[in-house]
Amino acid sequence: MIKKLLFLLVISLISVSATSQTELPSLQFWNKLKAHCGKAYQGVLEEPKEDEAFGGKQLTMHVRSCNENEIRIPFFVGDDKSRTWILTMNDGIISLKHDHRHEDGSEDEVNFYGGTASNAGKANIQFFPADVHTQQMIPGAVTNVWWITIDESSFTYNLRRLGTDRLFTVVMDLTKPIETPGAPWGSED
């Protein structure tokens, strides 16, 4: 009887361990990002160094809202509060969309472009090839691939336009939270 109970205990411990080890990489990524909810960070433009729109400006991300299926991250470039990265989770697959607003809160005509991961990715990186909506809205973006990385010290947002020299990389320092900035343009709160 004791051997049988001991055997059942060992089996149950193994199954609990196996369950935690089989958590989807996309969910691990999601949870790493959600751990920063409510916090803001500064970063730098890594590539291209001489970019006119982003170079030399204060770059701020704010993991502003998080729920089970959506994370919103406003990304400010100096005083420009027009950009929000929207990540959504659906059946273990993450999508990335870009919400662009004018200062009055109205939508930019180029809005909600992005892509959906083709698989569960890895716990520290997710790739988002351009989706059909993006291809129709921005024909030149048909070969866009965005990716986001996250680890203990940094968050990176990246864009590569395959077949071209276009590469864009922003690195945010997760080791030094800053005061949370105001709301992005178009936010209702």
**pLDDT for 20:** 52
Structure tokens at 183: 């709301």
**pLDDT for 55:** 87
Q: How many CB atoms lie within 10 A of CB 179?
A: 6
Cβ atoms of 121 and 106 closer than 8 Å: no
The Cα–Cα gap between 75 and 187 comes to: 13
**pLDDT for 52:** 87
**pLDDT for 18:** 46
Burial of 114 (0-12, 13-18, 19+ CB in 10 A): buried
Q: What is the pTM of this model?
A: 0.87
Q: Which fold has domain 24-173?
A: Lipocalin (2.40.128)
**pLDDT for 19:** 44
Q: How far apart are the first and last CA of the chain?
A: 62
Per-residue pLDDT tens over the stretch 63-119: 999 999 999 999 999 999 999 999 999 999 999 999 999 999 999 999 999 999 999
Q: In the chain, what are the domain boundaries?
A: 24-173
Nearest one of 37, 187, 23, 41 to 121, comparing CA atoms:
23
Per-residue pLDDT tens over the stretch 175-187: 999 999 999 999 9
Per-residue pLDDT tens over the stretch 4-32: 545 555 555 554 444 456 899 999 999 99
- Alpha-carbon 96 to chain mean position: 7
The Cα–Cα gap between 121 and 29 comes to: 9
**pLDDT for 17:** 45
Q: Is the pLDDT of residue 38 over 70?
A: yes
Q: Is the pLDDT of residue 158 over 50?
A: yes
